[in-house]
Amino acid sequence: MKPTVSVVIPAHNEAGVIGTNLDALLAGAEPGEFDVIVVANACADGTARAAARPGVRVLETSRPGKAEALRLGDAACRAFPRVYLDADVRLDAASVRALARAAARRGVLACAPLPEWDLAGTGPVVRRVHQVHDRLIAPSRALAGVGAYVLTEEGHRRVFPLPDVISDDGYVDGCFAAGERVVVAEARSVVRPARTVRAHLARRVRVRRGNRQLARLGRPARSLRAGALRDLLAAREVSVLDAACYLAVLAADRVLTLVRGGRARWGTDPSTRPA
């Protein structure tokens, strides 16, 4: 069977999750339907072994960096459209098919699923932070921050060769006008955010670095609309306690940025590791 979709999965030290997520992706797929390439980049664990299974090609490289892994995987693809999927994000076969259908619509060059946040095991404060943030960005959500995006052949020509960017999804999002990219409600990605405030703040360091880099490239990240949190409170979509937790963590993030120049180090929580 000729593959209908290629799926590129860059994976840096993802042995703990890659197998389960690949099984979820392939469980509902026909043999040969998806062209799946896992790129184990600069791994110090058993990522490549954990990814090995029928229907998956595993490439290994000693060169670090997510952008490099995406380029390597992309060069090995056999089909369009192409799904670029984070190794720690779950996407099932039905969602891949929904994304492929959306990519076939006239004028669509890129698309992405809606995220579902796996908040199991998160602390009470950071859970409220994630919930508020999700509601704040929902009106402008597109290709960034959901762990997966899809490019058509024409969209691919606009993005690749992908430069060495920290925020690949932010860069890709900025390559398309609003009418060229769509969010596909029938497709869902299951995303596991930071479990603790400490891990969330550490992850924010990478987000800030990525946003600064995009700004230098002339593709600034989207900013939240002024008054958006106030509107959520007025509509009772979030509680006062939710908003207080969000603002307190935001203030801590800004203090750390000023005091440590954005280079805060919070230890080795696995949820803060680079891609």
Write the pLDDT tens digit of every residue in 165-200. Answer: 999 999 999 999 999 999 999 999 999 999 999 999
Average pLDDT for the chain: 92
Residue 20: φ, ψ to 5°: -60, -40
Question: Which positions of the chain have pLDDT values less than 50?
Answer: 262-275
Task: For residue 154, tell me if it sits in a domain.
Answer: no
Q: How many CB atoms lie within 10 A of CB 196?
A: 17
pLDDT for the residue 273: 38
Task: Read off the CATH number of the domain in which 32 is found.
Answer: 3.90.550.10
Task: For residue 75, tell me if it sits in a domain.
Answer: yes
Check if the beta carbon of residue 40 is closer than 8 Å to that of residue 48: yes
Q: Which structural domain range is residue 50 located in? A: 1-79
Total-model pTM: 0.91
pLDDT for the residue 220: 86
- Can you tell me the distance from the alpha carbon of 180 to that of 233, in angstroms, rounded to the nearest whole number? 32
Residue 22: both structure tokens together = 């690949």
Sheet with 148-151, side-by-side order of all strands = 56-61, 34-41, 5-11, 82-85, 148-151, 110-117, 181-191, 90-91
- Can you tell me the distance from the alpha carbon of 221 to that of 213, in angstroms, rounded to the nearest whole number? 10
pLDDT for the residue 125: 97
Task: For residue 53, tell me if it sits in a domain.
Answer: yes
- Sequence-distant contacts of 26-32: CB under 8 A, at least 24 apart: 26/53, 26/55, 26/56, 26/93, 27/92, 27/93, 28/92, 28/93, 28/94, 29/55, 29/93, 29/96, 30/1, 31/1, 31/55, 32/1, 32/2, 32/3
Task: For residue 115, tell me if it sits in a domain.
Answer: no
pLDDT for the residue 225: 81
Task: For residue 98, tell me if it sits in a domain.
Answer: no
Task: For residue 15, tell me if it sits in a domain.
Answer: yes
Write the pLDDT tens digit of every residue in 131-177. Answer: 999 999 998 889 999 999 999 999 999 999 999 999 999 999 999 99
pLDDT for the residue 261: 58
Task: For residue 58, tell me if it sits in a domain.
Answer: yes
Task: For residue 12, tell me if it sits in a domain.
Answer: yes
- Can you tell me the distance from the alpha carbon of 244 to that of 225, in angstroms, rounded to the nearest whole number? 18
Which three-class secondary structure state does DSSP give residue 148?
strand
Name the domain count of the chain. Answer: 1
